[in-house]
């Protein structure tokens, strides 16, 4: 039976030195001096929850889905969707339960305090979630 002997790793003279990238120093005074509004993300994140009550349900999202400012009517466009297909493709939900997906939109106007999530589709079935109160994080959770 062979045994394993633990020996320390010794670099041979022929092996090149592995470069190590130094970690950057963070100047906390500079970070404290940055105005928080310049660090704001320019996207709005909407976590959607769909209660699937049947087996093998199909869902999708249309690119004509917007966040609409209740005061001005200004629209924020859908930039990206995760865990759901864009129409005309479908996402199959194989079992009963809550299915979640993420929609990412362009920024809302700074003065916006209330908005709607609207899926404009050329057929019946588009959703419309009204009166979503704006928060500082621009991260929302809605039931579809």
Q: What is the pLDDT of residues 7-23, one digit of tens each?
A: 444 444 555 554 444 44
Indicate if the pLDDT at residue 66 is higher than 90. Answer: yes
Residue 7 lies in a domain: no
Q: What is the pLDDT of residue 95?
A: 85
Residue 15 lies in a domain: no
Number of domains in the chain: 1
Within 13 Å, how many C-alpha atoms sit on residue 107's CB side?
Answer: 8
58: which strand partners? 92
Indicate if the pLDDT at residue 35 is higher than 70. Answer: no
Q: What is the pLDDT of residue 130?
A: 97
- The model's pTM is 0.70
Residue 9 lies in a domain: no
Residue 38 lies in a domain: no
Residue 120 lies in a domain: yes
Comparison of pLDDT for 122 and 108, the residue scoring more: 108
Residue 117 structural domain: 44-138
Residue 20 lies in a domain: no
């Amino acid at each position: 039976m062979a045994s394993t002997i633990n020996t320390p790793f010794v670099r041979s003279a022929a092996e090149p030195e592995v470069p190590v990238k130094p970690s950057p120093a963070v100047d906390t005074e500079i970070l404290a001096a940055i105005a928080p509004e310049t660090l704001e993300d320019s996207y709005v994140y909407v976590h959607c929850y769909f209660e699937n009550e049947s087996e093998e349900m199909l869902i999708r999202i249309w690119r004509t889905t917007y966040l609409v400012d209740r005061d001005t009517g200004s629209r924020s466009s859908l930039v990206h969707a995760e865990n759901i297909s864009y129409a005309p493709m479908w996402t199959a939900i194989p079992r009963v339960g809550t299915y979640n997906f993420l929609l990412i939109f362009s920024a809302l106007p700074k003065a916006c305090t209330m908005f709607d999530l609207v899926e404009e589709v050329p057929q019946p079935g588009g959703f419309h979630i009204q009166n979503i109160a704006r928060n500082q994080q621009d991260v929302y959770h809605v039931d579809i």
